[in-house]
A and B are shown apart, each in its own frame.
Chain A
Amino acid sequence: GQQVMQIPQYQHVQEGEDFTTYCNSSTTLSNIQWYKQRPGGHPVFLIQLVKSGEVKKQKRLTFQFGEAKKNSSLHITATQTTDVGTYFCKPKLSFGAGTTVTVRA
């Protein structure tokens, strides 16, 4: 399948801080999706990016698609305990390995 690398694999964040997780591909992507999986739950679709340089926001979450459409990022501002979970990027058929986020109060 189409290979992407997600970094970091784990992110431990102080509540209130910001962080960014990245999804990098060696090939050009037609689009990319992001999913969130809460502990014990199933992946839930967050957003899809299609255009080069596209930026979309969902409250404290900002998603970006790179100009070359080879990478994407998810930035979370003012992290809350509700942000705990694993965030996956997905180009077409395959998922990235995910970034697992934990939050310390």
Chain B
Amino acid sequence: EAQVTQNPRYLITVTGKKLTVTCSQNMNHEYMSWYRQDPGLGLRQIYYSMNVEVTDKGDVPEGYKVSRKEKRNFPLILESPSPNQTSLYFCASSPLIPRTGGSNQPQHFGDGTRLSIL
């Protein structure tokens, strides 16, 4: 079954304790992205990746890191989490059409990770 898998689904942690949210897709998609969703603000893009070893900042990258060492995985790293990073996080993936400058293909989303930073 084609899917995007995020782990963990829920996490409560404390300020300053490094954490990683994993994201894996089994569709051989080039494009992967992380979003955070906050009430009234919709989905805001944190980072995206167009292929292995290619990552770029989205609209709200501060306080986050990502890596793309393998095509299927795109972990989101919070080196020193703070309470303002409490949010619902989604990972998404899609195929990438060359020379379009971004993902114009439908995105497949994971089930989300709800993070609470105390």
Contact = CB atoms under 8 A, between A and B. Distances in A.
A68 interface: no
A86 to B, nearest CB: 8
Given A1-B45, A1-B58, A42-B112, A93 B107 contact: no
Chain A binding surface SS class: loop
A35 B92 CA distance: 13
Interface in B4-35: 33, 35
Contact of A9 (B40, B44, B101, B112): B40
Interface string A25-53: 00000110101000001111100100000
Given A93-B45, A93-B103, A96-B42, 17 more contacts: A1-B45, A6-B42, A33-B106, A35-B107, A41-B111, A42-B110, A43-B109, A45-B108, A48-B104, A90-B107, A92-B101, A93-B102, A95-B35, A95-B42, A95-B45, A97-B41, A98-B42
A18 B41 CA distance: 25
Contacts of A81: none
B42 to A, nearest CB: 4
A42 B6 CA distance: 12
B118 interface: no
B48 A97 contact: no
Contacts of A65: none
